[in-house]
Amino acid sequence: MSQDSNKYKKYFYEKKLVWEEINQKERQAVLDFGEDYKKFIDLSKTERNSVKEIVKRAQEQGFVPIDSVNSIEKGMKVYTINKDKAVALFVIGEDELESGLNIVGSHIDAPRIDLKQCPLYEDSGLSLLKTHYYGGIKKYQWVTMPLALYGVIIKENGEKIEVSIGDNEDDPVFFITDILPHLAKDQYKKNLSEAIAGEDLNVIIGSLPYDDKEAKDKFKLNVLRLLNDKYGITEEDFLTAELEIVPAGKCRDVGIDRGLIAGYGHDDRVCAYTSLQAVLETKNNKKTAVGLFVDKEEIGSVGNTGMNSEFFNNAVSELLYLEKGKFSGLELRRTLANSSVLSSDVAAAFDPTYPSVLEKLNSPYIGNGVTLVKFTGSGGKSGANDANAEYIGKLRKLFNENNIIWQTGELGKVDQGGGGTIAYILAKFNMDVVDLGVPVLSMHAPYEIVSKADVYMTYKAYKAFYDYYI
């Protein structure tokens, strides 16, 4: 930089590159953190598995179920699970609950392909499964790749069978086929969103006939027999199952310098992991710290395990009762309204291969740190939470004082599309809310990409929020 430009530097804002701002010791911490994160997402391929992994790590740090305690006091660590698909962790602070909570809320569902209730059929020497995709996927990305099957089957007697096939080294995997290029003349004429139809996402589950030439539907029968041997189920049990198809295999380092991670479900398990690690380490916090992990964000935060459920308010009500030995609705409302939230969700990173959909000045960049998104929405900010400048101003001070490399971001160019997070749902209780999370490349693809540097800075930002934000 020339003498002249240095002289005027104070007038300008410049983004910072995490790798250039950290010392050797912190660089090692970034890499180590990435290794543990990889372990976490490999074990958390569904919302149910994410809850298991979150609760396991919480229990190891001394968290106990809310309904196992008779009162709460400063420093106590409690959790509550919602139907095995959502969970909230609380580290009770010095101040009483009514002064507000510091909440970091992420979602643990990810785009995938669900089995229909009557999935199994045979055709032309194959056994296949009918599916209905979940969340915003580009359907053409999910064909001709190894897939795993996860979920639960509830038998008539109430027994819950857990299914997990495809991620152990010696497991078979599943596949969705595509048309060979030689015969794709008509397919090539279709636009990308129609080239692979939703009803064509049929998953191959078998190809051997049942060992009885006289048997009817012998390919389907053979699959049913194998499932019966392994799980004791019959075809009717699919009717009361929740089975999910996800990419098979582990996440991987990307690049010769290993700075990035490609993995399934960074959106939003990378924010779940970073907020989990932050809340597990929080102590001596003034405000009660909350790690909130919810389901169904990818389909609109609906249902009893999505953010729109009263689960979270009920949990806070229970805590208020444990604190005071009585409950008042007014107290709950004050607690919520005095709370502050980091809606922890991923942001769309600038992709140099597709600059036309992103605006250079306002896109978040890979390696430039945790990303604060003031507003999401689409077409004139419609549906956005659009955080208050006063709140963002306080976070700016917090982050700068704690050496957190952060940037701002937006969800693509104006009028190019858009999206949302759980932010607006918590804002409805009059909390201060802003989106803050990890920038991602290829969002919603079977394998998404994040930078280890951004993952670490996101953790640091959540940690500072829990420890110091008032």
Residues at the site binding Mn ion, with contacts judged by CB under 5 A = 267-268, 345
Closer Cβ to Mn ion, 209 or 419, answer by number: 419
- Count CB neighbours of 397 within 10 A: 10
147 strand-pairing partners: 174, 247
Coil/strand/helix, residue 214: coil
CB of 54: closest distance to Mn ion in angstroms?
A: 17
Tell me the closest approach of the beta carbon of residue 357 to Mn ion, in angstroms: 16
- Contact (CB, 8 A) for 38 and 263: yes
What is d(CA 18, CA 33) in angstroms, rounded to the nearest whole number?
Answer: 14
The residue behind tokens 């045979």 is 122
Contact 222, 208 (CB under 8 A): yes
Q: Min. distance of Cβ 419 from Mn ion in angstroms?
A: 7
Q: How far is the CB of 444 from Mn ion (least distance, A)?
A: 6
Of residues 254 and 294, the one with the C-beta less far from Mn ion: 294
Shortest gap between Cβ of 346 and Mn ion (angstroms)? Answer: 5
Q: How, if at all, do strands 260-263 and 147-154 pair?
A: unpaired
**Three-state DSSP state, 184:** coil
CB nearer to Mn ion: give 47 or 267.
Answer: 267
CB neighbour burial string for 220-247, b if at least 16 within 10 angstroms, e if fewer: bbbbbeebeeeeebeeebbeebbbbbbb
Residue 434 CB burial class (10 angstroms; 0-12, 13-18, ≥19): buried
Name which of 53 and 345 has its Cβ closer to Mn ion.
345
Nearest distance, CB of residue 348 and Mn ion, angstroms? 10
Tokens 């779940």: give the residue.
272
For Mn ion, the closer of residues 97 and 110 by Cβ is: 110
Judged by beta carbon, residue 268 or residue 467, the one nearer Mn ion is: 268
Comparing every residue's Cβ against Mn ion, the nearest one is 268
User: Shortest distance, CB of residue 389 to Mn ion, whole angstroms?
Assistant: 24
SS3 142: helix
Closer of 122 and 268 to Mn ion (Cβ)? 268
SS3 content of the chain, % helix, strand, coil (to 5): 35, 25, 40
Is residue 282 helix, strand or coil? Answer: coil
Q: Nearest approach, Cβ of 107 to Mn ion (angstroms)?
A: 6
Q: Which is nearer to Mn ion, 267 or 295 (CB)?
A: 267
Distance CA 461, CA 470 (A): 14
Nearer Cβ to Mn ion (345/454)? 345
Report whether 382 contacts 143 (CB < 8 A): no
End-to-end CA distance of the chain: 39
Amino acid of residue 118? C
Which residue lies nearer to Mn ion by CB, 26 or 114? 114
Q: Which residues of 185-206 are buried (b: 16+ CB within 10 A; e: fewer)?
A: eeeeeeeeeebbeeeebbbebb
The two three-digit tokens of residue 390, written as one number? 């006063």
CB of 421: closest distance to Mn ion in angstroms?
A: 6
Give me the least distance between CB of 301 and Mn ion, in Å please. Answer: 10
Report CA Rg, the chain. Answer: 24
